[in-house]
Copies of this chain bind each other. A is one copy, B any other.
């Protein structure tokens, strides 16, 4: 992988410098969250490699499947990378047969990135895998347990969003358009 998440999956060795909170429940919980993130990412990445997709390309495929044929500019904004980088990713996806570049009907500068049949299949598989994966993780949990988990995640998520928003500009979900009055 690559993700920084991997950096500290296992609990901190507690320096207990100032002695507060010596059992470190919070650190352990953070460790859990990080490990979940690592494992999910690992699983996804390896699965994608089997289908001939790298992470950035898969991300692009996913966005494309949600938006339909798009200009590279739109994709760049969606993935929050430079337009130049999209050119390279599309080059790769074209070379491996997932998408094609079609002329934009009303703007001759732009191209419409469009799925091939293989691309459509890949996107559908990603969606199916997502469902299956959610099932694997949560199916069969008691309602109480599941609800407790979701409620906890809600709190964490809210705090996380607030923290990120406070530290840098907003863009809450990480794939929103940047809009500022």
Copy number in the complex reads 2
Would you give the 0/1 interface string for A105-141, flagging 1 where the beta carbon is closer than 8 Å to chain B?
0000000000000000000001100110111111101
| Residues of A contacting B: mostly | helix
Give the residue of B43, B154, B167, B174 whose beta carbon is less than 8 angstroms from that of A9. B174
Q: Is the CB of A104 closer than 8 A to any CB of chain B?
A: no
Contact B135 A26 (CB under 8 A): yes
A139: chain B residues within 8 A (beta carbon): 26
Enumerate A43-79 residues with CB–CB distance to B below 8 Å. Answer: 43-46, 48, 55-56, 58-59, 62, 66
How many chain A residues touch B (CB < 8 A): the figure is 76
Contact A42 B163 (CB under 8 A): no
A174: chain B residues within 8 A (beta carbon): 6, 9, 35, 38-39, 42
Contact B149 A151 (CB under 8 A): yes
- Bound together, the chains give a CA A2 to CA B45 distance in angstroms of 11
Contact A3 B55 (CB under 8 A): yes
Contact B137 A37 (CB under 8 A): no
Closest Cβ of chain B: how far from A40's Cβ, in Å? 7
From known contacts A25-B146, A32-B150, A58-B4, infer whether A155 and B141 are also in contact, taking CB-CB under 8 Å.
Answer: yes
Residue among A38, A168, A174 having the largest count of chain B Cβ atoms under 10 Å: A174
Interface positions of A (Cβ within 8 A of B):
1-10, 12-13, 15, 25-30, 32-46, 48, 55-56, 58-59, 62, 66, 126-127, 130-131, 133-139, 141, 145-157, 159-161, 163-164, 167-168, 173-175
Residue among A3, A45, A153 having the largest count of chain B Cβ atoms under 10 Å: A3
Contact B37 A5 (CB under 8 A): yes
Contact B44 A7 (CB under 8 A): yes
A153: chain B residues within 8 A (beta carbon): 29, 32-33, 36, 149, 152
